Each structure stands twice: as C-alpha cells, then as structure tokens.
Amino acid sequence: MGDEAEHKRERAAEREAAKQEEAQTRKRGWRLMRSAVRAHPQLMILGVGAGLVWATARVAVPLLAGEAIDHGIAVDRTGITFALTGAIIAVGAVQAVGTGLRRYAAFGLAWRVETDIRMRLVAHLQRLHFAFHDQAQTGQLMAYANTDIQQINNVVLLIPLTIASTIQMVAVVVILVLRSPGLALFALGLLPLLNFSATRFNHRMYPIGMQLQKELSDVSGVVEESITGVRVVKGFGVERMQRARLATEADSVYDRSIDQARLRSNFMPLIDLLPALGLVGILWYGGHQVLAGNLSVGDIVAANLYVVMLIWPLRMIGMLVGQLPRSAAAAGRIDSILATDPAIEDVAGAHPLPDGPGSVRFERVTFGYGRGPAVLDGLDLTIEGGEAVALVGATASGKTTVARLIPRFYDVHAGHVRIDGADVRDARLSEVRRAVGLVFEDTFLFSDSVRNNIAFADPEAPNEAVVRAARLAGADEFIRDLPEGYDSIIGEHGYSLSGGQRQRIAIARAVLADPRVLILDDATSSVDPSKEHEIRAALAEVMRGRTTIIIAHRPATIALADRVVLLDGGKVVADGTHERLLTTSPRYREVLARAALESQPGAVDDEELLDAPGVGD
Amino acid sequence: MGWWGDNVPEETLSRDEATRVIRRLMRMLRPWRVLIAAATLVLMAQAAALLSGPLLVQHGIDDGLPGKKHPHGSAAVLNRTVLVYLGVALLGFVLGRLAIILVARVGEGFLKQLRNHLFGHMLSLSLDYFETEKTGKIVARMTSDIDAMQELVSQGLVLFVQNAFVFVGAVLVVLIVSWQLALGILVIVPPVYFGSRWFRRVSNKAYLEVRDRISTNLSTLQESLEGVRVVQAFGREDAFTRKFEVTNEDQYHANMHTVRISSKYFPIIEYAGVFGTAVIIGYGGWLTTKGIVTVGTVAAFVLWLNSLFEPINQLSQLYNTVQSSAAALAKIFGVLDTRPTVRQRQAAVDLPRSGTVDVQDVTFAYGANEPVLHDISLHIADGERLALVGPTGAGKSTLAKLIARFYDPVEGSVEVGGVDLRNAEFVSLRRRVIVVPQEGFLFAGTLRDNVRVGRPEASDAEVEEALRALGLLERFAAFPEGLDTEVRERGSRLSAGERQLVSLARAALADPSVLILDEATSNLDPGTEHAVERALEQLMEGRTTIVVAHRLSTAARADRIGVVFDGRLAELGSHDDLVAAGGHYAELYRAWATHQAAPEVA
C-alpha cells in the first residue's frame, strides 16, 4: 500500500520534472528565435509597416462602399457613386502593394531566420567532439536541421502577418463600435468563437494527427518487413498472415482518419457558420436600427464586408497559438545543441607542437567512453620516431582506442598522451591533427571526385602529389580504370567502389596529408589478399622515415612492422617481434588464429540466396 | 494559408493517361456509389445554402428596409427574412458536417481497400519482381504514394468538390439575379483565372527547384555528419562549413524565388477582389439609377463576390494535390497490372511426403537475359544431403531457387516426390520444401509468433515442440518474457546466431521433406555457433537437404557434392570421389586445406 503511494508520488514528481524541463526547453527556444529575428530588424519593420498600410487600406474599402450606397446609389447621385468607386479602386491599389510587400517581408524573414539557424547549427556540429557524435544519431541531427527548423520558420512567418491582422481587427472593432456598439456586438460578437475553436481544434487535432502518423508508420513497418523479408514470406507461404497484419493496420488508419474527419466536421463548418450568424445578426439588429432611422443601408453593407474580412485573420491567430509551443520546443531542442560546448578545444595558451620525428608516448593512460568502463587502464607505451609498430589484440582490447587518443579525438581521463614530448592537450589542436594521419577501419569517402577525396587535407595539392599518394596506396591503377579516372565522382551519387578500393583511397588521402604519425586501423581488412600484396610493397615506402602504427590481424600485414605490441584488457601484455611473440606468447597465437578463422579468403559469395534485396538503394 | 510547395507533382500525367486513371478509379469506386451520390447531393445543398445567404440579404434590404420600393420598410418582412436566413445558415452547418463525414467514409474506405488490395497483389508477385525492383520503390507504392492520396482524401477532396459547386452555383445565381451586373463582374474572372494558371506554372517550377536544392543541402548535411570524424581528423571543419554555407544559401535563394513569385501573385488576386467591389458599386450604382437592379442586389453581389473568387483561389491550390494523387494512382495501377510469373495451375495437386528431387534438363535465364543455368540434370534421393559449391555467380543459388520454385525453369522440369513443381499446389509446396536463408529474418512480434511463421495454424504446444526438437526451448524460455519476448523491442535484440536459431525452429515447425539451406558467410557469435550447428544437425535428420555451401568444411560433410561452374553441373560425387578425380573441387580443396594448415608469414 505504502509502496504504491510512494510510487505514485515518484511518478508525479517525475511528471513535474519533465514538465519543467519542457518549459525550460521552450524558454530557450524563445530566446533562440528572438535573437535570430532580431538580426534582421529591417525585414521585421518592412513586414509590420507594409502590414499597417495594407490594413488601413483594407479597412477603408467597406467604409467607402457604405458611403457610396448611402450618398450615391440610394439617392441616385451617380457623380458621388463614381467618385467613391474611383476611391475604392485607388485604395485597392495601395492594399495590393501593401499585401505584396508584407508577404515578401514575412516570408523573407522566415527563410532568412531558417537559413541562419541551420548554418549556425551545422557549423557548430562540425566542431563538436567525437564523444558527442558517438552518442548522437545522424537521423536525429538531420531532423533538427530540417523539420525542427521548419517549425521555427512557420512561427516566424506568422509573427509579422499576425501583427498586421491584429491591427486590422482592432481598427474594424473601433470603427463598428463608433458607428453602433450594438451592431458591432451582433456582427463580431460570435467571431472570437472562431478563434477559440481554431485553437481548440488545433490542440485536439495534434494528438490525433500524431496517432495517425504512427498508424501510417506501422503500415509501412509491415510493408517494409514483408518486402525485405519477401523470400521468407514466400518461402513459408505466409502471404495470408502478412495480409492479415496489414489489414489490421489499415483498419487502424481508417479508424484514426475517421476520428480526424469527425473532429474536422466539428470545426470546419463553423468557419462558414459563425460569419453567417454575424450576417444574420447584422440584418436583424441593423435592419431594425435602419427602420428606426438610426443606421443606414450602407452601414449594413459595410458591416457585412467587415465580417467576411475578419475570417482569415482570426483563423491565423488560432494557427499561431497552436504553432507557438511546438515551434518553441523545436527551437529549444536546437538551442540545447548550440549550447553544448565542444569538449576538445585548444586550451588557453596552447603552444605549437614541437618539431620532432613523431615519437608517441602513452604514460599511465586511463580512458573509457562516456561513463562506461575503462577501456585503457594505466597504459604505458612508447613508440620511437620513425618506428613501425603493429597493435594486435582481440576485439575490445583497446587497440582502436589507442589509435583515437593520439590525434586527440578524446581526452584521456588520467595520464598523458605525448607526441614528440608534448602532451596533445597542451598543443594546438590543428597541429596535432595535422601531425597524425589516421585511416579508419570504416572508410568514409565524400561524394566528390577521386582527386578531391585524396586531396582532402590539402585541396591545393598539385596533381602529381595526388597521383603519387594514390600510387603509394596501390590505388592508382584502378582509379585510371574508372571511366573518368581521377575526376570520377564516387560515393553515394557516383561510382560505387569495393570495400578494398575505398580503403585504398582512404590510405592515399592520409598519405597526401604527409603526417608525422600514420595510423592504419585495420585499413586493409577489405582489400583482396591477392592485391594486398601490392599495397604492402607500396606501404613499406610510405612508412619509411615515418612513425607508423598498424592495427591488423593478417600476419602478412603485421610483418610490415618492426615490433608487435599485444594489447589485452587495455594493457600491453606482450611486446616484441612477430616471430618472438609467436613462440613466447600463447595469447598472441590465439588472437591470430581466431582472426584467421574469421576472415577466410574466398569464403565470401556475393550471390546470396536469400538476402534482402537492396534495401535503401 | 498553405505553402503551395507541399505537393508539387514531379511528373504529371498526359491527358490520355489521366483519362484512363480516372476511368479506372471510377470503376474501383463503384462499391461506394450510394455514399458518393449522397455526398454529392449534400455538398450541392450546402453550396445552395451558402449562396442563398446574399439572396436573403437582398430581400431583407429591398423589401424589409425603407428604400425606393417601400419608403417605410416592413419589420415583419425583415423578421421573417432574418428567421429564414438563420435557418439556412444552420442548415448549411449541418450539411457541412454531414458532407465531411460522408466524404471521409468514401475516401478512407477506398484507401483502406486500396491498401489491402495492393499489398495482397504485391505479395502474390513472384520473386523476379522483387529482384528487379528496388525495395525502396516497392515500399513507396504502399507508403508515400498512398499517403499522397490520403492527404487529398482527408483535406482536399471535400474542399475541391465544395468549391467547384460553390463556384458554378455562384456564376449561375449572379447571372439569374442580374445578368447585366453579372457580366460586369465576370469580366474580372479571366484575369484571375489566367493569373492563377500563370502562378501555378511558374511556382511549380520554382518549387521543384526548391525541392532539388533542399535535397542537395540535406545530402551535404548528411555527409558532413557522417564524415564528421574524417573532417575533424584532417582539420577541415572550416572548409566543410563553407561548403555547407553554399548549399544552404542556395536553398535560401530558391525559396526566395518562390516568395517573389507569390508576392506578385497575391496582390493581383487581392486587387481583383477590390476591383470587383468597385465595379459592383460603380456599375451597379449606375444600374440602380436606371432601375435595372436594386440596392439590395448591389449588397448581395458584394457578398457573392467572395464566392466567386475564393473557389478559384482554392481550386488552384488544390490542383497540385490532385495531380500528385493522380500520378501516385497511376504508379499504383502499374503495380496492379504486373502479373506474377510463377502461378498456381488450375488442376494443381498436393506434393507427396517424399523428398526425392529430380532436376531434368533444366535451362534457366532471368527474364530475357543470357541463360545462367544450362541443361542441368540431377537426382537427389529421399533423405540425401547434397552440397552445392562453386564460384560466385556460377548459378548454385539459382539452382536452389528453382528447387524451391521461386522461379520456373525456361526448359526442363523440377520434380519433388515425382510431381512437377509447376503442377504443385502452393500451400503444400511451401510446406514440403522450405528454404532457410543465410541470415535469420525476424518479423515484428514475439519469439513465438516468429517460430509460428513456419505453420501459422500450429498450437503453442507445437511451437514449443519444434523448439524442443532442436534443443532450443530452454534457451528461449530463459528470455525475460520467455517465448513472449518481443523480438524487435529495444534491449531484447537477438544476436545473429539467435536469429538463425529462430529461423531453424521455424523450418522445424513447418516440417518439410526438402530443406534448402543457404550457409551463412559471416561468422556467428561463438556463444551460438555451436547451438546452431547442433540444431541444424537435428533439423536435417531424415530430410532431403540441399546446402548452398560457402565453406568447404561444410561441403565435405555432405553425402554428395555438386560443383556448379559457369551455369553447368561440372562435377558430382562424394568428397572422396571428387578429390580423387582431381577436378575443380580437388583444386579448391587443396588451396583451402593448405591455407587452413599454416597461416604463414609471407
């Protein structure tokens, strides 16, 4: 019993905390939007100013029409009718110019703000540390830069538009009240309901819309699974089962859609009804006032026009009210990223990296990812300048982590990583990064020409340097075989290369940067063994006079190194030449044997019997 | 409000295509014809109610208020008119609600049926369809294409029909009430119409450009995020930020182009409205002095003006949504018109329990391509284990697919238990011949659901029995929620090996006579590797098994080995026979054996 109460309290407290956090996020969102809008005061001023002109002109038209009826048409004075008609045409021109300018300013402001915020976000993301990107999902970040920013756009757009609409509304109310408070009440009294119900409608529509989106994504879930698993579906003949599952989802979509239609049927007809009731009220109250001689027919017509005129502004305010919290929350999410400081930055008074042969020292280094367990635990390791060392170890032994700490992708928790005697945290980050060239195991190439990919570190590099780097990485030959040679576009929108080819381009990219320390993290794992032989010869040349750290399993690659360091559990457990370790370290033999088993040459068959057909291409 | 850019159709249909699509749509809508007729009547009545408002204002002003006709007016007439007006307004409200519900029932009902029909048809298609079309495209037919129509149905359809009726009604009513004044304001319709057409044309082009720029910008962004580690490793943050700035600004400029277009269009529309009012006042006023129209008519026309302009504006906005939907529908019809290449015959027979397989003179080609299998004949005895080996693309997987009748041979025949597969009844075929894929594929649902895929009508006890037979029951029962564990939920992700085990249990539940295994190329986690091997051994017991082998160690354990080379069955025999024969297999085996024995330093 007590437990349950306790539980309830806890949950209430949690809800409260979540609510507060949401409010906090929205507050930050407001701040971000305010500062972004403030950067373009001229557009805001133009938007509101043009809106003012537009509103004034628009409000004048019914007045002129009313005057024309009373003093021209009703009393057969054609001259006055025509004069007032001319006035309406002139005022209309002003209104038209006003509406063009205010739209231009409002949309212009919205797109400018969207573009600015996106730029800030992306520039910031480029500078955020590895640890941030390790836990962030690309899709999520893309959503921030795309859909969330659109939410901001939606609200920024509505602000100047709504200001003008509000002014117009106030003017209409004032004019009608001055003419006849009773008429104003009957004409406009019910219209706020439109605003009220638009807000309510948006508020209630939102969750149903979300539900519908979820049901739709469930439908696509079933479809995607059935199509990617079509061989299993057909192999077991369970088409009927899948059809039944889809039917269930389709039913849910139908039900939600009908819910949505019902809600819409409560609101949409009001858009016609409320103004119509205003017109009825005008005809009744205004009509009797005309009979009593207090109002004119022109007043009735003018009031009619005002009612029709206010439908849109009221709906727009309703939309803005519905949009505000959503946009603020979206902006808040973006702001929380902008507020994340890059953890890896130059310290105050960072000094240049001293010249040197590229010696690397780990001194009692302890490190773990995030709050996870320590991956390196008091690691000591010295690599002399110009030396070639192979790091060998089982999965999770810490060898890739060693590779990532040298260019200071992460900061150590304790101890020091030194390059040529300088702690990497004290040296300028840009120089550390330039001094270390790392070829990752999962090669990432950009959608660009082969040449630009290789010359990534130095886009100005002469052609010969690019070709030389490619040759050293054993890539020159296949690049020349590509239809456009070095100008061939690769990556997602270009030629697709094999894993081994990609790795070789990545090696060329690192070679071109000409680093003091070259780190190859399993960088030849996808290269066909028969070709690896060629790369090895070239690599030997690259390694000459350069500190090289090779993370590899294939004995032939390990043989490129002068020395082998065996890591286990984040510590060095054996150190020596390959031959010595083979004879003295059973653990070394075990690690190599395991690795050999995992990569049987010739075992990979591209033609798979039952794989998923090309998902996502 | 609307951004106008949401639904710019990428491709539009030609007039002929559009006519065909509409005709076919009409046929498909036949089951809803009563509801459609009702909705049409309701929408017409609603339009009439809406348009009669100004008529009542006219009547109230002319006959109820003091003026030329009745110098003192009439309170009774005024009150009566107001009451009728109130009634008409409320009627319009009720009709409006009804219309939305009716249209939703038709539209959503149609979409539901279309979803089910299209999906059922897709699943009936043969494997070649799924191999030639990209998954993304197939899925898009069921998702983005139908969703495009969903949007039309839920938001646009009512508005579309409503506005069309209101516009036609408004034109008729103004012509009837005063054709002279009507002609005066109808003069403004052509500029609005052509303005809208211009706007649609120009803005569609501009929005396609926007869409292009957005996708370029997003792919730059995606690349900068996916490649952020490389960018930082080479210290290229600034260069990349500048690169993004270019595409980001491109997107801005494309958007501003659309803003400039609409900043020209909307003033025209607004001005036309005001100009119309001026025409009614000026020209109408002149007609009044001539005694041709009344003051009330002038007032009514001012109100009708809105009913003339608003529909044109709305319809031109909806036009894009309608076009996108038509294009989507045409693509969907394209799928519905695709016929399965592997079909069940009329007089199909059940496959017997026997597991003998006879491949006779089989030649096979994918579509109109060069044959990938030539003249293959092969007899596999009941309960025999045959391994198929050969280089990539030699055709061993294709041969396996023919035995499972994922395709029909171009020449020759495949028989199981003495029955030509082309004469086999589908349900029995899928029970007797089972393929276990390389990677265990899991459906959303529980472990139990996933095993039950093997035989959907199996009881819980039978599912458990199948697991027990493979020695897996305890293993899966130990999951947090036992066999009811959701396989796709976070935290209960199954390892590759475990997925494979589920896949084997599924096959065991199906209890086939012929088992086709595609050996996994990648290694399984050591924790499950052993369990998979044991379960496989159990599963193969007493069944004809054909293994598409990627490892020679697997092949060596089979009763016989078929070496497929260049689309032909090059060698066939036991391991020892083939090694002794000194052909391809012997060569492969020797290379492999030396590699296994000594991982020497080069």
Instruction: Read off the pLDDT of each residue in A229-254 and give the average, rounded to a whole number.
Output: 89
Query: Do strands B514-518 and B544-548 pair parallel, antiparallel, or not at all (unpaired)?
Result: parallel
Which of A557, A469, A454, A464 is closest to A502 using CA atoms? A454
Q: Closest partner residue to A280 among B89, B142, B397, by Cβ? A: B89
For the four alpha carbons of A571, A574, A577 and A578, in that order, the dihedral sign comes to: negative
Which of B525, B585, B524, B513 is closest to B549 using CA atoms? B585
State how far residue A555 is from chain B, nearest Cα, in angstroms. 5
Q: CA B224, CA B226: separation in Å to the nearest integer?
A: 6
Mean pLDDT of chain A: 86
CB contact (8 A) between residue B116 and residue A247: yes
Token output for A11: 């949950």
Are B65 and B78 spatial neighbours (Cβ–Cβ below 8 Å)?
Answer: yes
What is the pLDDT at residue B1? Answer: 35
User: How wide is the angle at C-alpha B63 spanned by C-alphas A277 and A274, nearest 5°?
Assistant: 5
Higher pLDDT, A90 or A3: A90
CA atoms within 13 A on the CB side of B196: 20
- Residue count of chain B, please give it: 602
Higher pLDDT, A200 or A495: A200
CB contact (8 A) between residue A276 and residue B53: yes
Q: Strand, coil or helix: what is B534?
A: helix
Which of A102, A109, A111, A106 is closest to A168 using CA atoms? A102
Instruction: List chain A residues with CB under 8 Å of B550.
Output: 603-605
Query: Do strands B544-548 and A422-423 pair parallel, antiparallel, or not at all (unpaired)?
Result: unpaired
State how far residue B477 is from chain A, nearest Cα, in angstroms. 24
Report the predicted TM-score, pTM, of the whole model to 2 decimal places: 0.77
Q: CA A336, CA B226: separation in Å to the nearest integer?
A: 21
Q: Is the pLDDT of residue B164 over 90?
A: yes
CB contact (8 A) between residue B299 and residue A69: yes
pLDDT in tens, A559-588: 888 899 999 888 888 899 888 888 888 888
CB contact (8 A) between residue B57 and residue A272: no
Give A235-269 as a DSSP string. Answer: HTT-HHHHHHHHHHHHHHHHHHHHHHHHHHHHHHH
Instruction: List chain B residues with CB under 8 Å of A492.
Output: 219, 223
Q: CA A307, CA A323: separation in Å to the nearest integer?
A: 25
Q: For A486, which DSSP code? A: G
Q: Closest partner residue to B256 among A108, A236, A291, by Cβ? A: A108
pLDDT band at B527 (very low <50, low <70, confident <90, very high): low
Nearest chain B residue to A136, by CA:
B225
Q: Closest partner residue to B435 among A440, A604, A610, by Cβ? A: A610
- The torsion angle over the Cα atoms of residues A214, A217, A221 and A223, rounded to 10 degrees, is 130
CB contact (8 A) between residue A223 and residue B142: yes
CB contact (8 A) between residue B236 and residue A118: no
What is the pLDDT at residue B428? Answer: 87
For the ranges A571-585, B267-281, B572-586, the one whose mean pLDDT is highest? B267-281
Q: Closest partner residue to A81 among B255, B285, B510, by Cβ? A: B285
Token output for A103: 């739209």
Q: Closest partner residue to B75 among A221, A288, A446, by Cβ? A: A288
Q: CA B351, CA B430: separation in Å to the nearest integer?
A: 10
Between chain A and chain B, how many beta carbons pairs sit less than 8 Å apart? 459
Q: Is the pLDDT of residue A145 over 70?
A: yes
CB contact (8 A) between residue A457 and residue B234: yes
For the four alpha carbons of A389, A390, A394 and A399, in that order, the dihedral sign comes to: positive
Question: Which of A46-50, A457-461, B41-45, B528-532 comes out lowest in average pLDDT?
Answer: B528-532
Q: Is the pLDDT of residue A212 over 50?
A: yes
CA dist list (Å): A450 to A478, A523, A535, B234, B397: 11, 18, 18, 17, 35
CB contact (8 A) between residue A301 and residue B302: yes
Give B140-154 as a DSSP string. Answer: HIIIIIHHHHHHIII
CB contact (8 A) between residue A93 and residue B271: yes
Which of A63, A52, A53, A51 is closest to A87 using CA atoms? A63
Instruction: Give the DSSP H/E element, type plus range, for residue A347.
Output: none
CB contact (8 A) between residue A73 and residue B53: no
State the CB neighbour count (10 A cutoff) for residue B320: 22
CB contact (8 A) between residue A95 and residue B218: no
Question: Which of B11-15, B88-92, B349-353 comes out lowest in average pLDDT?
Answer: B11-15
What is the pLDDT at residue A612? Answer: 31
Nearest chain B residue to A154, by CA:
B3
Token output for B106: 């038709």
What is the pLDDT at residue B204? Answer: 85
- The torsion angle over the Cα atoms of residues B496, B502, B503 and B505, rounded to 10 degrees, is 150
Q: Closest partner residue to A304 among B57, B65, B135, by Cβ? A: B57
Which residue, chain included where needed, has tokens 């569609």? B204
Residue A287 neighbours by CB under 8 Å, 6+ apart: A300, B60, B61, B64, B65, B78, B82
Instruction: List chain B residues with CB under 8 Å of A235.
Output: 404, 406, 430, 434-435, 437
Question: Which of A283-287, A420-424, A492-496, B226-230 comes out lowest in average pLDDT?
Answer: A492-496
Are B400 and B388 spatial neighbours (Cβ–Cβ below 8 Å)?
Answer: yes
Instruction: Read off the pLDDT of each residue in A448-477 and give the average, rounded to a whole number.
Output: 91
CB contact (8 A) between residue A447 and residue B454: no
Radius of gyration of chain B (CA): 36
State how far residue A173 is from chain B, nearest Cα, in angstroms. 20
CB contact (8 A) between residue A72 and residue B120: no
Instruction: List chain B residues with CB under 8 Å of A600.
Output: 551, 595
* ipTM of the complex, rounded to two decimals: 0.83
Which of B216, B228, B139 is closest to A492 using CA atoms? B216
User: How wide is the angle at C-alpha A334 spanned by C-alphas A333 and A340, nearest 5°?
Assistant: 95
CB contact (8 A) between residue A279 and residue B154: no
Residues B117-147 as b/e (b if ≥16 CB within 10 A, e otherwise) read: ebbebbbbbbbebbbebbbeebbbbbbebbb
State the CB neighbour count (10 A cutoff) for residue A462: 10
The values of phi and psi at residue B572, to 5°, are: -150, 125
Nearest chain A residue to B63, by CA:
A287
pLDDT band at A183 (very low <50, low <70, confident <90, very high): very high
Token output for A227: 């199509």
pLDDT in tens, B456-505: 889 999 999 999 999 889 888 888 888 888 887 544 567 778 888 999 99
Instruction: Read off the pLDDT of each residue in A519-546 and give the average, rounded to a whole number.
Output: 76
Q: Closest partner residue to B154 among A260, A407, A438, by Cβ? A: A260
Instruction: List chain B residues with CB under 8 Å of A162.
Output: none
The values of phi and psi at residue B164, to 5°, are: -65, -45
Q: Closest partner residue to B281 among A85, A224, A614, by Cβ? A: A85
CB contact (8 A) between residue B108 and residue A254: yes
Q: CA B154, CA B110: separation in Å to the nearest integer?
A: 12
Are B386 and B437 spatial neighbours (Cβ–Cβ below 8 Å)?
Answer: no
